[in-house]
Chains A and B, each alone.
Chain A
Amino acid sequence: MAERTLTQEQTEFREYCRGWLAGHKPAAPSFRLPLSPIEVMTEEQRDYLCAWQKACYEAGLIGCDYPTAYGGGGHDGFQQIATAEMGRAGVPYMINVIGLNMAAPTILHHGTEEQKRTLLPPLLAADEIWCQGFSEPNAGSDLANAQAPAVRNGDHWVINGHKVWTSLAHFARWMIMLCRTSTEHKHQGLTYFIVPIADTEGVTVRPLIKMTGETGFNEVLFEDVSVPDTLRVDDVGKGWTVAMTTLTYERGAAEGAGSGGGVPLSDRIKALVSLARRMKRNGASAWDDAVVRDRVAGLAIRAEGLVQLNRRSRVEALADTPMRLPLQQKVLVSELLQDIARAATEIEGPYASLYLGDQRAPDGGQWPLAYMNSYGFTIAAGSNEIQRNILGERILGLAKSK
């Protein structure tokens, strides 16, 4: 590849990644892995994925751009290369996705020296899983309405409240948490904490059952939980600013299919074509049906469009305003995955009625599951309606919906 932008060192690193991944791609597990890390349910899934992330970390493919003092590789521009190579190699995703994509960059930007030294190495190695506590029953799209109170008591804080939709909380050691430290101001009344949630007195993690029938995310209840002030991130009252840092990384990293392995989009399109070839429609292969072909081609175009949009977003001269393309990511990925899964269920015809565990279900029943699960992505991380507000207001200067 004529990648003129890569340095000699980066080119060598890419070759190293390719070689290492070729030799260390883990054997497929005997159990089913969910489509994304935030749906990990069982301990065997967790153990398999933690071992994989740790192996990648120890090989230098994770945390490569973090300073060595914080457990990183101390390089520049390496992570993007490693991530791309992992995607190309079709290896499993990183389980500690919230830690890697949200907590770690936030701590690096806003955290204390001690937080960086003690928390980042086990995060990168997947020795400690992280989760995120922003949303509450009454603070979803209106995130700044978060109410969970944190009250100072000497060198500690006492935290109460109720967080919802917390993926991975059932395995997590730490939560990044948005708390209310003042009721006088909406945004400036928020403060950002790192809260230990495993085996902590006063913390209850309860699974929420998704519409798919699976667990995978949770609600977390806090009752007089004591947290040392050393785990506060940035100043009291700066929680909203810190949370925006987290969300910027979350939205940027919302490449559901691309962040450190997972199923590349092009493979999902191939799977759709393969499915259409196998299923029957009007007495012939569904792939012979012009309407099916039009649908699948349209999705293939959107998938390729996303790949090329990401490529373009890194070429300043072709990207217009800096955030215009990155801010589209989340909407594009989540709706594409949803529409691919929906199309698959249509192609399956009556077979789309068959779910996990039915012997005759095409592709093990994964398509109806993926279709239902896709709403997690269109709703989470700022619903796509909120994303469109952000795009309209920040990029196009339209009047704020508030």
Chain B
Amino acid sequence: MAQPKNFGFSDEEQMVRDSARKFLKDHAGIETLRKLVARDHREAYESDVQPAPYDERVWQRIVDLGWPALAVPESAGGVGMKMIAVASLAEEIGRAALPSPLTATLIATTVLRAAAEHGSATSATWLGKIAAGEPATLGGTNADGSWDAGATDVRVTATADGARLTGTAHFVQDARKVRTLVVAAAGDAGVGLYALPIDAPGVSILPDRIVDLTRDQARVELRDVVVPADGIITPDGGTAAIAAALPAILTIVAADLTGAAEWQMQTTAEYARVRTQFDRPIGFFQAVKHPIVEMMIAVDRARSLTYAAACAIDTDPDDALRLARMAKAAGSDAAAFCSDRSVQLHGGIGFTWECDVHIYFKRQKHNEILYGDGPFQRARVAELLGE
């Protein structure tokens, strides 16, 4: 109930958003993106190992700008910005379809934060590494592809001075770009969370072949991986920590979706302004004009809900999950619709590799899936409505 009318978006947050927008415009524009991820279709889809391209120099500058530290609490060496600032940043990342470990890192950060708030004494160290620029990712999904908190195929056994992990984490995002793995593992005490260097002995990254060109995904196999005591984030509070972080996770992905959907809408509108058929710009025709307006309506619904969810995380946590699920549902649906119309309304060229809309189409499909698509979220929203 106690939400500020302006979503808590004041000068400081606006500065983050505007500087991110400018930086990405200057250093990660569409030309750069195309050269980076879509230079060659064979390379993208037919290499022995699918490439996981990203610009490490851009990443280094992002670290220098302090973006990975944004969501890290000040007590752990970060900036401790509000979720509305983090969501605004994620939206800009989505708009640029930036290949980087930032989104995965922000998600891992929210989980470590939630663990700290649930009493984990070890998570501060790992949050500090993130603030210092070491990217991280979350391994919290099993072979069934379940997004439920605590779902894992990794088993843990306690040792004298730590823990030993065995099993596979599935659908791990940007595993080849990160330094740290935060993984859920089930043992006698329940589901715990463990942090470890992703190149620790016994860890193998098995890249998936994926549709999306702007990130990588992998199964991460753990064979008798030894985790010392300082890597035990929580031995039994993993499900609770991930569940507590879920509103933030959903909001970050929803923000990415809406940023990318805005790009799809603007790019399609621009094409409809300049492409001429029957002696008129095709945007003249209502069969083209009205669907682009529908794209805008879908984007604005998703964006408004995303800001509301972020603001609820900051000021009204009891209502955060409901709004975050709504935001992710609306974001996923907006992404699906904008993807569909962006290709269709570009006509023949929109179906080709040379037209940029396919890059966003693929990223959006991936985003829709992450942490549950529209129908998935609506089923959960219905449960909340029925309470």
Contacts and interface: CB of A to CB of B under 8 A. Distances in A.
Interface size class of B (residues with CB under 8 A): 35 or more
B283 A399 contact: yes
B351 interface: no
Nearest to B265: A396
B378 A305 contact: no
B289 A392 contact: yes
A183 B382 CA distance: 57
A173 to B, nearest CB: 38
Nearest to B303: A312
B315 to A, nearest CB: 7
Interface in B252-293: 269, 272-273, 280-281, 283-284, 286, 288-290, 292-293
Given A300-B385, A399-B283, A311 B289 contact: no
Interface in B1-51: 1-7, 9, 14
B65 interface: no
Given A297-B379, A389-B286, A1 B3 contact: yes
B293 A399 contact: no
B280 A311 contact: no
Given A293-B382, A397-B269, A311 B286 contact: no
B269 A398 contact: yes
Interface string B96-134: 000000000000000000000000000000000000000
B330 interface: yes
Given A2-B315, A293-B378, A301 B305 contact: yes
Interface string A289-300: 010011011101
B261 to A, nearest CB: 13
Contacts of B4: 1-4
B378 A301 contact: yes
Interface stretch (B195-203, B294-302, B335-343, B357-365): B294-302
A201 interface: no
Interface stretch (A29-37, A313-321, A362-370): A313-321
Given A399-B281, A399-B283, A297 B382 contact: yes
Given A1-B2, A301-B378, A398-B284, A392 B290 contact: yes
B304 interface: yes
A3 B301 contact: no
- The dominant DSSP class at the B interface is helix
A318 B296 contact: no
B307 interface: yes
Given A294-B378, A318-B7, A304 B293 contact: no
B326 A385 contact: no
A70 B280 CA distance: 50
A388 interface: yes
Given A312-B307, A392-B289, A401 B284 contact: yes
B274 to A, nearest CB: 10
Contacts of B315: 2
Contact of A392 (B280, B292, B308, B386): B292
A301 B381 contact: yes
A305 B284 contact: no
A304 B3 contact: no
Contacts of B162: none
Contact of A4 (B6, B303, B305): B6
A332 interface: yes
Contact of A311 (B7, B379, B382): B7
A391 interface: yes
B375 interface: yes
Contacts of A398: 269, 272-273, 281, 283-284, 288-289, 292
Interface stretch (A58-66, A235-243, A323-331): A323-331
B52 interface: no
B301 to A, nearest CB: 4
A298 B378 contact: yes
Nearest to A288: B386
B186 interface: no
A3 B290 CA distance: 37
B292 A312 contact: no
A273 B386 contact: yes
Contacts of B386: 273, 287
B43 to A, nearest CB: 36
B382 A401 contact: no
Given A296-B385, A315-B7, A385 B297 contact: no
B323 interface: yes
B270 to A, nearest CB: 9
Nearest to A312: B304
Interface string A378-402: 0000000100110111011111110
Contacts of B6: 4-5, 314-315, 318
Given A297-B381, A399-B283, A304 B296 contact: no
Nearest to B381: A297
Given A297-B378, A301-B378, A2 B305 contact: no
Given A5-B5, A318-B307, A302 B382 contact: no
B7 to A, nearest CB: 6
Nearest to A335: B297
A312 B300 CA distance: 9
B71 interface: no
A302 B385 contact: no
13 contacts: A3-B5, A273-B385, A297-B329, A301-B326, A305-B305, A315-B9, A318-B303, A328-B297, A388-B294, A396-B293, A397-B269, A398-B289, A399-B283
Given A300-B326, A331-B297, A400-B284, 4 more contacts: A301-B301, A392-B292, A395-B296, A396-B269
Interface of B: 1-7, 9, 14, 269, 272-273, 280-281, 283-284, 286, 288-290, 292-294, 296-297, 300-305, 307-308, 315, 323, 326, 329-330, 375, 378-379, 381-382, 385-386
